[in-house]
Structure 1
Amino acid sequence: MVIPIFRIFDMEKVHSFYINYLGFKKDWEHQYSENMPVYIQVSLNDAVIHLSEHYGDASPGGAIRIKIKDLKSFHSLLVEKQYPYSNPAIEKTPWGTSELTVIDPFSNRIIFYEELE
């Protein structure tokens, strides 16, 4: 299993975006001490992402693709939440997928996709 790491800077924004908006669950969180950076794992279905405040773990602006079933329903769920910082749309690609791109508060892109039949 490959687990991507995204750089983050603010746990409140992580919770608002990943947990409340996208529907990921927080699997675990690690912090050496109160004033040290946080490292957490979030997951949605089979997709797992590590989010790190640690300098050098990753650079902001990364991108990943997550295959998802029923992209249309997932999109509807996001629209209902009326998240003020994102309004993604589904796009059909020339390579035979439907895709929904969201950008987290730290400039990381998550492309949810499903293959067209």
Structure 2
Amino acid sequence: MIVHQTCPVLRIEDAREALNFWCETAGFAKDWEHRFEPGFPLYVQVSRGGLVLHLSQHQGDAPPGGLVFVRLEGLAAFCTELQQAGLAVAIRDQDWGQEMELRDPFGNRIRFCETPPAG
């Protein structure tokens, strides 16, 4: 098996609020969006630094309040950027590395983790 990309789907209620949070506040880019017809639920892709998220207003796509775990490098700088944007995030030391949890307006959580180099 070869995996090329994972795209977690997060449930959103309000498209404008979601795009404001993810794009304006958290620094993600909107890659594309889809609606079957005007006024129908939004399905949109946002991305940042290799992390791709699908945000969906479709009720059956994902339960509200999901959790995604992401390993990354550069956690401290990312945390500082989010704090400067007004988000209440902090880094916590864990046995396996440092973590920061980002919660969107709909209760979805992304737990970012940076592990120390092996050796």
TM-score computed with the length of structure 1 as normaliser = 0.91
Distance 1:40 1:65 in 2: 20
Shift of 1:68: 2.1
For residue 19 of structure 2, what is the aligned residue in structure 1? 15
Q: Secondary structure at the match of 2:7?
A: coil
Aligned pair partner of 2:77 in 40, 55, 73:
73
RMSD between aligned residues: 1.1
Give ranges in structure 2 of 5+ residues lacking alignment: none
Shift of 1:33: 1.2
Distance 1:3 1:75 in 2: 22
Q: Secondary structure at the match of 2:69?
A: strand
Note if contact 2:26-2:85 (Cα within 8 Å) is conserved in structure 1.
Answer: no
Q: Secondary structure at the match of 1:100?
A: strand
For residue 105 of structure 1, what is the aligned residue in structure 2? 105
Give the residue type in structure 2 aligned to 1:87.
Answer: A
Shift of 1:80: 1.2
- What is the correspondence of 1:7-86 to structure 2 with a 5 Å cutoff? 7-82=11-86, 86=87
Shift of 1:112: 1.2
TM-score computed with the length of structure 2 as normaliser = 0.89
Distance 1:66 1:44 in 2: 12
Give ranges in structure 1 of 5+ residues lacking alignment: none
Distance 1:26 1:66 in 2: 19
Give the residue type in structure 1 aligned to 2:45.
Answer: Q
Shift of 1:2: 2.0
